[in-house]
Amino acid sequence: MTAENRLQEIRKEIEVCHACPLAKGRERSVPGEGPARVDILFIGEAPGFHENRQGKPFVGQAGQFLDELLKAAGLERSQVFITNVVKCRPPNNRDPLPEELQACQVYLDEQIALLQPKVIVTLGRISMGKFIEMGRISSIHGKTHNVNGQKVVTMYHPAAALHQPALRQTLIEDFARLKKFISADAQAEKPDPTPKPVTKTDQNLSPKPINELEPQPKPQATPPVELVKAEPAQRETPKPPEQLSLF
Ligand code: SF4
């Protein structure tokens, strides 16, 4: 089965899912949307009022602002996949409960495994928490992280700017830097058209350290839950996700 077909199947499973109590209050679940082949996956928190009615992600005021932000990053909606950590609206837009996040994560994990995005952009602290458990969004917004080989960029949720207008400009600037990051990544992937002969000096060079802007190997399609969780604190020398230096 192709990734596209499986993504369609997941969509149908989400539409009839009753794995957590959020199913009772929903009008429509919101599986997410976008092409099956994308470089960038945006992950928000949960559907809101308008999303619940329309079954589409980010269609309210926050969605309109997200469209502006995508433009600032040189992107169109048609180029990216957009989804949420939970696919049904929590009552009164409250934060999803841990058990709801747990029940719904199987869908997001499989979406990530199928899409294999080069970059995951988290929108807000709830989706950030899937990848970076101990992070504070006010400290790491606009930052790029390497989480077990997966590039993750942590952003404020666009809705935050609706409640705190001062964050609007912060978000625009963070997304503008995302544009630079994406183009630097694309440049790093271009093969050198003029192959150089290997010299003795080259052979003697020690292994090149990993450049933070070079593409990281894609994660295997193993259960992404392993891929996304930070090391538990009690292990010896806990290593926080590597923070890249671009931002
Ligand atoms: S939030 Fe997720 S797990 Fe809960 S009912 Fe909706 S699709 Fe199912």
Strands 242-243 and 143-147: antiparallel
- What is the structure's pLDDT at 184? 73
Query: For all residues of the chain together, what is the average pLDDT?
Result: 82
User: Ligand 1 mean position to 107 CA, how many Å?
Assistant: 9
Is the CB of 82 within 6 Å of ligand 1? no
Q: 79-104: per-residue pLDDT in tens?
A: 999 999 999 999 999 999 999 999 99
Is the CB of 118 within 6 Å of ligand 1? no
pLDDT above 70 as % of the chain:
75
Least confident of 82-96, 112-126, 194-208: 194-208
Average pLDDT over residues 173-178: 93
pLDDT band of 232, cuts 50, 70, 90: very low
The SS3 call for residue 49 is helix
Is the CB of 87 within 6 Å of ligand 1? yes
CB 247 within 8 A of CB 212: no
pLDDT > 70? residue 231: no
Of 224, 222, 191, 48, nearest to 120 by C-alpha is 224
**What separation, in Å, do the N-terminal and C-terminal C-alpha atoms of the chain show?**
39
- What is the structure's pLDDT at 216? 41
Is the CB of 120 within 6 Å of ligand 1? no
- What is the structure's pLDDT at 134? 85
- What is the structure's pLDDT at 241? 52
CA distance 27 to 24: 9
Q: Which of 10, 15, 22, 130 to mutate to test the pocket of ligand 1 (most atoms within 8 A of CB)?
A: 22
User: Ligand 1 mean position to 44 CA, how many Å?
Assistant: 15
Is the CB of 20 within 6 Å of ligand 1? yes
Average pLDDT over residues 105-125: 97
Model's pTM, two decimal places?
0.79
CB 148 within 8 A of CB 244: no
CATH 3.40.720.10 for domain 3-188, yes or no, is no
Average pLDDT over residues 177-200: 63
pLDDT band of 191, cuts 50, 70, 90: low
